[in-house]
């Protein structure tokens, strides 16, 4: 495994001026787009220490907010939301679009921040940051249309009309994880804002600074004061308080926490979307180009050191292609570079912390003790960074080992031969999760047919995850234990609105008329109903024939 140096120490960050992290934390303390409760001062509040994963140095601290801070932030957000809801959707979309431009303009500082707080390689940081303006562009273009009022069929065509309008929920709570702190927080917050809501964001304890930097840029883009608040603090304290105070909750994180969030949202009768864990399969069919597939598998398994909800952790290969694929996959994996420097030399960075390193190490050790073969990797690299771990490929993994059954969320994948495509599909579907999958083949139609049989919210043919994740007009989310609801596409915007249907009668009240005997009226109504049903069946038949089916 090739390594690079030096690691990303805070003092060496090329685009972060000294004191920048303190300035960002001040946003929370003084309540500017942050969460400080009006009745408290900075001195009253506990703090949370934030460390840089690449070096384990302490890089700063942020306020450990409590339930009162959450309530104060939501109250301020609620006040700001009233006027924002009245602002035309086209103007709201313009603010989001301007924000996208600012993210591009300020990219070097944001990349430094991302690397400092996550330990990811700069290449991975670029992939993450790219996503934010892409999403802004999509929202600017489509949200006004998705949110505009719609005419639907009335109960009695000609006699009544039905019009649907979409109203913002109010204040949306967003709870985000540490692995992609910019894209996952903005992926939920921006569509909520463009739909006319206020947002209160709780970033992960380990990665608060990126969220605070984006809050600053949203303000510069013209978002009204108070409309977007960041509440830093412990998940077990701030999270439940937020679920209790808001009108909708968008959660991204582990399945265990997602269940707790959903239970609480259910008690409060608020809606939620949950983007949760996965144990994603990658299927290699016997007609795949093994070299191309190996390059794709490397991206699928080791992007962001495997700390990606869409990462492949299980590979099933049709037997005739197994040996050639494994050889190419090991070769490509060993060409990866491990490191955390501020240049583009490293492809794979650090894990987030000691707990994540322990998890990865214990999954690999458990598999090894139970007879697994380590084809490459399988060891920590403290010489590169305190939490660095080599990209690892395992074979001969027993089906009941932790690595096979649970999400590792690290740079570890198991590979196994299967007799045919049906066996690969069955193995892929043998999981309580259903987030993302990838299918590799020389025959795209065969790939699409296999993809339709895999129980995941997104399935990529001849690509790791970008073909679906990058298709921002298409919904993205999980089956089963991988979550509820969808981000991206019109679905990702509409989750943040209530629909209101207004029905208007042009013929007075739709009730029994008083000038016709009721039994005549009932007979006539049923005759009209049957005639209407026959007519629409006939029309459907004609349309089908015209379409050639
Ligand atoms: P986590 O569930 O521990 O934490 C996620 C967030 O929830 C953090 O902000 C945390 O502070 C907060 N939180 C903690 N306790 C809470 C509580 N009781 N109530 C409300 N919020 C609480 O997740 P993690 O382990 O840090 O993140 C990794 C997990 O996230 C993995 O399982 C990964 O697959 C998943 N993930 C999913 C997606 C997706 O889009 N499906 C994306 C990224 C990560």
Cα 242 to chain centroid, rounded: 19
Summarize pLDDT for 212-238 with one digit per residue, the tens.
999 999 999 999 999 999 999 999 999
**Ligand 1 lined by 314 (C-beta under 6 Å):** no
- State if residue 48 touches ligand 1 by the CB under 6 angstroms criterion: no
The ligand 1 atom at the shortest distance from the C-alpha of residue 234 is: 11
Atom of ligand 1 nearest to the CA of 275: 41
What pLDDT is stored for residue 34 in this prediction?
A: 53
Catalytic residue check, 275:
yes
Cα dihedral sign for 28, 30, 33, 35? positive
- Looking from the CA of residue 476, the nearest atom of ligand 1 is 40
For residues 312 and 283, the answer to whether their CB atoms sit within 8 Å is: no
The answer to whether the CB of 5 falls within 8 A of the CB of 384 is: yes
pLDDT of residue 464: 97
**Residue-wise pLDDT tens digits, 48-106:** 999 999 999 999 999 999 999 999 999 999 999 999 999 999 999 999 999 999 999 99
Residues in the chain with pLDDT < 50?
32, 37-42
> Is 202 touching ligand 1 by the criterion CB < 6 Å?
yes
Predicted confidence at residue 335, as pLDDT, reads: 97
CB 410 less than 6 A from any atom of ligand 1:
no
Alpha carbons 546 and 468: distance in angstroms, whole number: 32
Among residues 275, 313, 332, 407, the one annotated as catalytic is: 275
- Alpha carbon of 159 to ligand 1 centroid (Å): 51
- Given ligand 1 and candidates 200, 235, 354, which is best to mutate, with the most ligand atoms within 8 Å of its CB? 235
136, 309, 388, 456: the active-site residue: 309
At 172, which helix (H) or strand (E)? strand 171-175
Helix (H, G, I), strand (E, B) or coil at 175: strand
Q: Which tens digits make up the pLDDT trace of 265-279?
A: 999 999 999 999 999
Half-sphere exposure (Cβ direction) of 437: Cα atoms closer than 13 Å: 30
What is residue 27's predicted lDDT score, i.e. its pLDDT? Answer: 84
Q: How far is the CA of 353 from the centre of ligand 1 (A)?
A: 15
| Residue-level pLDDT at 177 | 98
Please give the pLDDT value at position 156. Answer: 84
Ligand 1 binding pocket includes 257 (Cβ within 6 Å): yes
**Among 328, 350, 314, 317, CA closest to 436:** 314
Say how many Å lie between the CA of residue 185 and the centre of ligand 1.
11
* Active-site residue flag, 136: no
Q: Return the residue matching tokens 């883009």.
A: 221
CA 204 to ligand 1: nearest atom: 9
- 469: Cβ below 6 Å to ligand 1? no
What pLDDT does residue 7 have? 72
CB of residue 188 inside a 6 A radius of ligand 1: no
252 lines ligand 1 (CB under 6 A): yes
């Amino acid at each position: 495994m090739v390594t690079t140096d030096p690691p990303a120490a805070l003092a060496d960050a090329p685009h972060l001026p000294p004191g920048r992290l303190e300035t960002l934390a001040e946003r929370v303390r003084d309540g500017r787009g942050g969460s400080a409760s009006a009745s408290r001062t900075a001195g009253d509040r506990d703090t949370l220490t934030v460390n840089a994963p690449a070096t384990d140095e302490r890089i700063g601290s942020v306020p450990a907010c409590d339930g009162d801070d959450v309530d104060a932030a939501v109250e301020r957000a609620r006040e700001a939301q009233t006027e924002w809801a009245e602002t035309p959707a086209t103007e709201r979309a313009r603010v989001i679009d301007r924000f996208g431009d600012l993210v591009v303009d300020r990219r070097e500082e944001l990349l430094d921040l991302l690397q400092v707080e996550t330990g990811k390689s700069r290449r991975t940081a670029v992939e993450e940051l790219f996503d934010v303006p892409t999403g802004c562009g999509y929202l600017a273009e489509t949200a006004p249309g998705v949110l505009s009022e719609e005419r639907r069929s009335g109960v009695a065509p000609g006699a009544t009309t039905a019009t649907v309008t979409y109203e913002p929920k109010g204040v949306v709570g967003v709870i985000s994880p540490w692995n992609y702190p910019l894209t996952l927080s903005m992926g939920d917050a921006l569509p909520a804002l463009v739909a006319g809501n206020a947002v209160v964001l709780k970033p992960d304890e380990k990665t608060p600074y990126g969220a605070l930097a984006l809050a600053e840029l949203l303000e510069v883009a013209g978002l009204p004061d108070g409309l977007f608040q960041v509440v830093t603090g412990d998940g077990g304290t701030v999270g439940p308080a937020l679920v209790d105070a808001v009108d909708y909750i968008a959660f991204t994180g582990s399945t265990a926490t997602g269940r707790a969030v959903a239970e609480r949202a259910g008690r409060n009768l608020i809606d939620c979307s949950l983007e949760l864990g996965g144990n994603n399969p990658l299927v290699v069919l016997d007609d795949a180009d093994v070299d191309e597939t190996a390059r794709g598998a490397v991206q699928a398994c080791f992007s962001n050191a495997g700390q990606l909800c869409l990462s492949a952790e299980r590979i099933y290969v049709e037997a005739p292609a197994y040996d050639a694929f494994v050889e190419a996959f090991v070769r490509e994996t060993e060409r990866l570079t491990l490191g955390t420097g501020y240049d583009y030399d490293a492809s794979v960075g650090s894990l987030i912390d000691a707990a994540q390193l322990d998890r990865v190490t214990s999954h690999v050790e458990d598999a090894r003790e139970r007879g697994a073969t380590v084809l490459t990797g399988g060891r920590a690299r403290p010489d590169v960074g305190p939490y660095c771990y080599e990209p690892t490929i395992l074979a001969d993994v027993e089906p009941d080992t932790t690595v096979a059954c649970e999400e590792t969320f690290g740079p570890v994948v198991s590979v196994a031969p299967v007799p045919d495509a049906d066996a690969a599909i069955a193995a892929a579907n043998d999981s309580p999760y259903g987030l993302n999958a990838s299918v590799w083949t020389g025959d795209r139609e065969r790939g699409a047919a296999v993809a339709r049989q895999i129980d995941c919210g997104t399935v990529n043919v001849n690509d790791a995850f970008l073909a679906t994740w990058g298709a921002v007009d298409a919904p993205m989310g999980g089956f089963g234990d991988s979550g509820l609801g969808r981000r991206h596409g019109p679905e990702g915007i509409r989750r943040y609105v209530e629909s209101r249907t207004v029905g208007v009668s042009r013929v007075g009240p739709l009730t029994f008329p008083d000038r016709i005997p009721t039994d005549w009226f009932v007979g006539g109504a049923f005759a009209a109903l049957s005639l209407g049903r026959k007519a629409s069946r006939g029309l459907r038949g004609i349309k089908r024939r015209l379409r050639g089916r």
